[in-house]
């Protein structure tokens, strides 16, 4: 493995590299033109060398002798050799040029993909040709603009949360002072439902910009802890963790992933009466968490839409169920953020099956 020069050799090597970079053309056209110029010159020298090796000049005649005329050489072979060498040189130059010119674009694409997964990632390096530097500069400007917008959104969400929950608290206190018990219960249910809707909406908005650290987690331990917590609160939740006792490690944000699976379990309990959790290895490098219920399921035509924010299936969601249509949307967003997927399907025997697949940590 080649390592970067250190010590007193670091500065001369770095200066030499900078001088070479400054001598190179600054645009894609200039670099391609320079490459073709070098290739044509090198191919010409190579053809002349081959021709002289295949057809050496005749020996010098003795002094005073008239040099006999040189018979004409095989010009057709020379022309074919010249054409073959030049075509080979151009093909080699095209291959090298494609790799040379595409390397900055490949690095730019990788950095942009990393930024798409994490908007708080470091800015893109503004290096390479003029076109790559311009593209990196524009993407960095866009990233800074999005970060400012997210910060302003978080401030707005915090202000709205405070402004909405303050009157709800006053309503709850005033409802407790009502003389009729039935009225107090009705007002209490309405206030609790409004508070849950506001909390769910604000948590969803804040969760999209969650900066929680990504680390290795034992998915088996996380699911087992979640199932035990649900059972302690009296929810009908069962767990089938599979036969393999070893840990299933994933790279994830702990709070976000726990919220994702908890939303699937709460959705199954709310609309199916109970939830069964299964943990299996889907493939050699992936793991699947399945949450199964015995509820009415979801109409097939609406399955692609139930993961949209605030979408509710009216046929299976009544007023006493509660919710604002964010549970599955949050679960799907968290799954995609972690490089996984969420798949919903109706079971032939009745009920809904939600499969959350995640890549295992290397």
pLDDT in tens, 252-274: 988 889 989 998 998 899 888 89
Q: Which residue has the higher pLDDT, 129 or 317?
A: 129
Q: Which residue has the higher pLDDT, 235 or 168?
A: 235
Residue 346: the pLDDT is: 93
Question: Nearest to residue 351, comparing CAs of 279, 281, 273, 284?
Answer: 273
pLDDT in tens, 10-43: 566 666 666 666 677 666 666 676 777 777 777 7
Burial call 126-139: b when 16+ CB within 10 Å, e when fewer: eebbebbbebbeeb
Question: Nearest to residue 160, comparing CAs of 207, 211, 206?
Answer: 206
Tell me which fold the domain 215-359 belongs to. Answer: Heat Shock Protein 90 (3.30.565)
The mean per-residue pLDDT over the stretch 165-176 comes to: 80
Residue 2: the pLDDT is: 40
Residue 75, CA distances (Å) to 52, 79, 288 in order:
13, 6, 71
pLDDT at 65 over 60: no
Mean pLDDT of the residues in the chain: 77
**Residue 236: band (very low, low, confident or very high) from pLDDT cuts 50, 70, 90:** very high
Spell out the CATH class of 142-207.
mainly alpha
The token pair that represents 10 in the structure block: 């670091």
- Contacting residues for 259 by C-beta, under 8 A, at least 6 apart: 207, 330, 334
Q: What CA–CA distance (Å, rounded) separates 290 from 125? A: 41
- The domain spans of the chain are 142-207, 215-359
Q: According to the per-residue pLDDT averaged within each range, which of 109-113, 162-166, 220-224, 280-284 is highest?
A: 220-224
Judge if 142-207 and 215-359 fold alike in CATH terms.
Answer: no
| Full 3-state SS string of 162-225 | HHHHHHHHHHHHHHHCCCCHHHHHHHHHHHHHHHHHHHHHHHHHHHCCCCCCCEEEEHHHHHHH
pLDDT at 224 over 80: yes
Residue 13: the pLDDT is: 62
Residue 292: the pLDDT is: 94
**Residue 282: band (very low, low, confident or very high) from pLDDT cuts 50, 70, 90:** confident
**Which backbone phi and psi does 282 adopt, to 5 degrees?**
-75, -45
Task: Report the share of the chain in percent with pLDDT over 70.
Answer: 72
Dihedral sign computed on CA atoms, order 98, 99, 100, 102: positive
Q: What is the DSSP letter of 328?
A: H
Residue 39, CA distances (Å) to 35, 101, 286 in order:
6, 16, 48
- Contacting residues for 289 by C-beta, under 8 A, at least 6 apart: 219, 223, 261, 264, 277, 278, 279, 355, 356, 357, 358
Q: What CA–CA distance (Å, rounded) separates 278 from 292? A: 8
**Which backbone phi and psi does 283 adopt, to 5 degrees?**
-140, -170
Q: According to the per-residue pLDDT averaged within each range, which of 24-33, 98-107, 115-124, 176-185 is highest?
A: 176-185
Q: What CA–CA distance (Å, rounded) separates 106 from 157? A: 38
pLDDT in tens, 183-206: 888 888 888 777 777 776 676 666
Residue 319, CA distances (Å) to 265, 272, 310, 324, 329 in order:
19, 15, 15, 11, 20
Question: Nearest to residue 276, comparing CAs of 289, 258, 260?
Answer: 289
Query: Is the overall model pTM greater than 0.85, yes or no?
Result: no
């Amino acid at each position: 493995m080649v390592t970067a020069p250190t010590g007193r050799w670091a500065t001369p090597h770095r200066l030499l590299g900078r001088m070479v970079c400054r001598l190179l053309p600054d645009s894609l056209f200039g670099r391609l033109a320079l490459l073709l110029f070098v290739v044509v010159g090198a191919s010409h020298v190579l053809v002349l060398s081959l021709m002289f090796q295949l057809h050496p000049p005749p020996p010098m005649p003795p002094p005073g002798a008239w040099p006999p005329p040189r018979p004409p050489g095989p010009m057709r072979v020379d022309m074919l050799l010249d054409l073959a060498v030049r075509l080979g040189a151009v093909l080699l130059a095209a291959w090298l040029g494609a790799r040379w010119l595409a390397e900055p674009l490949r690095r730019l694409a990788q950095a942009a993909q990393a930024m798409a997964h994490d908007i708080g990632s470091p800015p893109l390096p503004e290096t390479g040709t003029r076109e790559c530097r311009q593209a990196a500069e524009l993407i960095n400007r866009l990233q800074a603009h999005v970060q400012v917008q997210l910060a302003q959104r978080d401030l707005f969400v915090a202000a709205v949360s405070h402004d909405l929950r303050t009157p709800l608290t006053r309503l709850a206190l005033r409802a407790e002072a009502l003389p009729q018990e039935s009225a107090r219960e009705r007002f209490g249910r309405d206030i609790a439902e409004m508070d849950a809707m506001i909390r769910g909406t604000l948590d969803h908005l804040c969760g999209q910009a969650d900066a929680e650290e990504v680390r290795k987690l034992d998915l088996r331990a996380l699911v087992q802890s979640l199932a035990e917590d649900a059972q302690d609160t009296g929810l009908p939740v069962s767990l089938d963790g599979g036969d393999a006792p070893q840990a299933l490690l994933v790279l994830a944000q702990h709070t976000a992933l726990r919220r994702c699976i908890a939303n699937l379990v709460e959705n199954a309990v709310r609309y199916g009466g109970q939830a069964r959790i299964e943990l299996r290895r889907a493939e050699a490098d992936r793991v699947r968490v399945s949450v199964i219920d015995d509820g009415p399921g979801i109409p097939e035509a609406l399955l692609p839409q139930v993961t949209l924010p605030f979408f509710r299936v009216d046929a299976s969601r009544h007023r006493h169920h509660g919710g604002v249509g964010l549970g599955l949307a949050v679960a799907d967003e968290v799954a995609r953020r972690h490089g996984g997927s969420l798949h919903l399907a109706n079971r032939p025997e009745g009920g809904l099956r939600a499969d959350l697949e995640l890549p295992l940590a290397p």
